[in-house]
A and B are shown apart, each in its own frame.
Chain A
C-alpha cells in the first residue's frame, strides 16, 4: 500500500532539491543572457544550451544539397531579414546554373535570388541539358585567406572554427574582399565596415540553426556539429556519398560542403 503523506524527511529533501534546482537554473540564466524570448524557442542544435560552451571543443559543418535546392530564395529572404542586409548586398545568395549541350555554362543571379526565380532564361540560344541552383555563402575556410590578409586583426578564425569580423576594429580597407575566393564579403554601405555570412554565429551559440537552414523548405541546407555523432551533418560527412568543396585547389579547406555539385560549379 502506498502512503500518501510524505514524511518530514521527504519534504525537506524535495525542498532542498527545489532550492538547488532554482539556484542552478538561476546561475544558468546569468551565464546565458539571451533575452526572455529565445527560451521559448526549442533548442535546435542539441548540447549547446544548459552547458558551458567550450570554445576549444567545437566543430561545425554546413552541407548544401544541390539536388534538393529548388531556388525559391527562402534562405536569401531570411538572411536579409535576420541581419537587415542593405539592398544590393548579399550574405548568402542562390545562383542559377544552366548547362547547354555545347557544355557552355550560363550563370545568373538576379537580385541575389531574393525574389526567387519566376521565369526561365530566354536568352540562351542552344538546347539546354540541365538547370540547377547553387546556394552560396561563407565557406568558413579552415585556412582562410581573408584572415591572413587583414592588417588590423579584424577578421579572425574563432577557436570554434568560425571566421568572423570584428566590426569595431575593421577599417574597411577591403583587402579581405579581394582575398576571398568565394566573393562572400562586402562593405556595408551603412556601417562602412566589412560584413559577411557568419553561419548565424549569434543563433548557433543560442542553440538555434542558422536562419537560412531553418527556413529551407526542402532540407537543401544542413548545419550541425561534427562533435555530435547523431547530427545529420556528421552522418552525411561520415557516409559514402560524394561531397565536394568549392575551389579545392586553392587549399582553403572549407567547412562548407556541397552534395551533388557538378564539376562546373565554382
Chain B
C-alpha cells in the first residue's frame, strides 16, 4: 500500500530476475552436461559404456602364447569351441602381455561333466546335424573299457578325434590324411 508504483515495479523486476537466476542455477544443477545431445538422455553415458574393459579375448588371443595347444585346437573338430569357455577369461589370465593369473584346469570327473554338457544324448534336443552325441555309459561299454574311464583318456580335449584317427590310421581302418 505504502509502496509507490516505481518501487513495486522494481521489486517485480528483481523478483523476475531472481527467478531466472534460480531457474538457470537449478537447470545446470539438475540437468547433466551432455543431456540432449542425441535425445533426452546423457550422451556421455554412451562413451562410459564403451569404456567398460573387455574380459574375453578370442581364441586368437590365446594362440600366441600357447602354440602347442593352438596347433592341435585349430586342426581338430573342437576348433569352434572357445578356449575361454573351458578355461576362463583372458582378463583373469593376462594383462599387458604378461601372465597374471592361473586359470583352472579341469581334471578327471570334471572333464566328463564338461563334455556331457554338449555331447549327452539323453537330453534329446540335439540335432545330429549340429553335434554328435553319446549315451553314457553305453559309449564306454561299446569301447569295452571300465565305466570309470574319463572322456579325456581316449579323446584329446583340444582335438577330440586326434588319437582315435591316428589309431585308425595305424590299424589301417582309415586312409592316411582323412
Which residues of B5-48 have CB atoms within 8 Å of chain A's CB atoms? 32, 35, 38-42, 45-46, 48
> Is there a chain A Cβ closer than 8 Å to B81's Cβ?
yes
> Are A215 and B82 also in contact (CB < 8 A) when A37-B94, A128-B124, A202-B50 are?
yes
Of B57-65, B67-75, B140-148, B156-164, the one with at least 4 CB within 8 A of chain A = B57-65
How many residues on chain A are close to B (CB under 8 Å)?
A: 57
The residues of B that contact A119 with a CB separation of less than 8 Å are 122-123
> Are A133 and B45 also in contact (CB < 8 A) when A41-B61, A156-B39, A211-B56 are?
no
Q: How far is the CA of A56 from the CA of B117 in the complex (A)?
A: 42
> Is there a chain B Cβ closer than 8 Å to A118's Cβ?
yes
B-side interface mostly:
loop
Q: How large is the interface on B (under 10, 10 to 19, 20 to 34, 35 or more residues)?
A: 35 or more
Chain A positions 46 through 76: 1 when the CB is less than 8 Å from some CB of chain B, otherwise 0: 0000000001000000000001101111100
Contact A153 B42 (CB under 8 A): yes
> Is there a chain B Cβ closer than 8 Å to A35's Cβ?
yes
Contact A82 B125 (CB under 8 A): no
> Is there a chain A Cβ closer than 8 Å to B168's Cβ?
no
Name which residue of chain B comes closest to A42, CB basis: B60
> Is there a chain B Cβ closer than 8 Å to A110's Cβ?
no
> Is there a chain A Cβ closer than 8 Å to B80's Cβ?
yes
> Is there a chain B Cβ closer than 8 Å to A104's Cβ?
no
Q: How far is the CA of A66 from the CA of B125 in the complex (A)?
A: 11
Q: List 11 A-B pairs, Cβ < 8 Å.
A: A37-B97, A41-B58, A41-B61, A44-B58, A117-B123, A131-B125, A153-B41, A154-B41, A166-B41, A168-B45, A208-B54
